[in-house]
């Protein structure tokens, strides 16, 4: 029997087969979970729907997290279909591309708002709607990056958004503990996903990163998926408010190359 047998989970943020969310979905399905997915726009629907079908998904519905109307419609579908929920994976981030290069000080008010809205407030927005469905407790998981605690060149406003996201994890965990709902984050090392494509210098980042980690390698989608599985399942029943690094030991290393 799988560790997620009989559990219902929403996986938000699949764009394609290289998405971190997809890696988590595959492993969760293998452990017996029944899954639901979102997509943003028709282009991504064409990618997400066939993928979701390979995992016998119960729910594949539109959800742009900047829209309260879409949030309400999405969760009312979940309520109708399942009437309950055990876990939710939030694997969503977005910043205007122009704000992910050049000087941080040039960040405009609207680029700041967009990054924080999509990448941080959205966790609160989905939690508010998911929590009433988690009648027997549950687990919320989000994805973050070390750019929240270190100044990573070009990560810029996304670093600020991830710092706010990690704080949001602690406030939600503290708020929802009484309902038996745990809230955690996985801080993943860099992976070449859609969200990393077109980032200038990403290839160099991966080569340098590998040399600077304790394990002397980059992290894989599988590394992140497996740790995520632990955090959404009962295996982590005593863990909440945590930022769990799946980074091959990058954070604990001085980074000097031997």
The residues of the shown chain that bind ligand 0WE, judged by CB under 6 A, are: 93-95, 97, 100, 145, 152, 154-155, 158, 190, 195-196, 198-199, 205
User: Residue 64, interface with ligand NAD (CB under 6 A)?
Assistant: yes
Binding partner selected for residue 125 from ligand 0WE, ligand NAD, none, CB under the kind-specific 5 to 8 Å limit = none
SS3 content of the chain, % helix, strand, coil (to 5): 50, 15, 35
Q: Which of 25, 188, 232, 243 binds ligand NAD (CB under 6 A)?
A: 188
Distance CA 19, CA 192 (A): 9
To which H or E segment does residue 80 belong? helix 68-82
Residues 6+ apart with CB under 8 A from 216: 210, 248
Place of tokens 């879409």: 70
User: Residue 195, interface with ligand NAD (CB under 6 A)?
Assistant: yes
DSSP 257: -
Residue 80 Cβ vs ligand 0WE, minimum distance, rounded to whole Å: 32
Has 171 been annotated as catalytic?
A: no
Distance CA 17, CA 24 (A): 11
Q: Pick the closer one to ligand NAD by CB: 2 or 196.
A: 196
Q: Pick the closer one to ligand NAD by CB: 70 or 137.
A: 70
Q: Pick the closer one to ligand 0WE by CB: 76 or 167.
A: 167
Distance CA 112, CA 123 (A): 17
For residue 245, the cross-strand partners are 187
Backbone region of residue 180 per phi and psi (left: phi > 0; alpha: psi in -120 to 50; beta: other values) = left
Binding partner selected for residue 36 from ligand 0WE, ligand NAD, none, CB under the kind-specific 5 to 8 Å limit = none
Q: Which of 15, 57, 229, 248 binds ligand NAD (CB under 6 A)?
A: 15
Q: Which residues make up the interface to ligand NAD (CB under 6 A)?
A: 13-15, 19-21, 40, 44, 63-66, 91-94, 118, 143-145, 188, 190-191, 193-196
Catalytic residues: 145, 155
């Amino acid at each position: 029997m799988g560790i997620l047998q009989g559990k219902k989970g929403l996986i938000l943020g699949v764009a394609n087969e290289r998405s971190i969310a997809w890696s988590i979905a595959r492993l969760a399905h293998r452990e017996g979970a029944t899954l639901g997915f979102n997509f943003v726009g028709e282009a991504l629907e064409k990618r997400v729907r066939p993928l979701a079908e390979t995992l016998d998904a119960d729910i594949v519905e539109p959800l742009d997290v900047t829209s309260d109307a879409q949030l309400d419609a999405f969760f009312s579908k979940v309520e109708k279909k399942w009437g309950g929920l055990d876990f939710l994976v939030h694997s969503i981030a977005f910043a205007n591309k122009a704000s992910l290069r050049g000087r941080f000080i040039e960040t405009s008010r609207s680029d700041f708002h967009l990054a924080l809205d999509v990448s941080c407030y959205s966790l609160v927005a989905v939690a508010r709607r998911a929590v009433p469905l988690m009648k027997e407790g549950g687990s919320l998981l989000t994805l973050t990056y070390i750019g929240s605690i270190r100044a990573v060149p070009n990560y810029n406003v996304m670093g600020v958004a991830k710092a706010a996201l990690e704080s949001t994890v602690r406030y939600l965990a503290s708020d929802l503990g009484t309902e038996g709902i745990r809230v955690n984050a996985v801080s993943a090392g860099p992976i070449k996903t859609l969200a990393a494509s077109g980032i200038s210098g990403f290839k160099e980042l991966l080569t340098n990163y590998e040399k600077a980690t304790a394990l002397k390698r980059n992290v894989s989608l599988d590394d992140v998926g497996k740790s995520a599985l632990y955090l959404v399942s009962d295996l982590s029943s005593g863990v909440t408010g945590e930022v769990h690094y799946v980074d091959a030991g990058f954070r604990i290393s001085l980074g000097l190359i031997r």
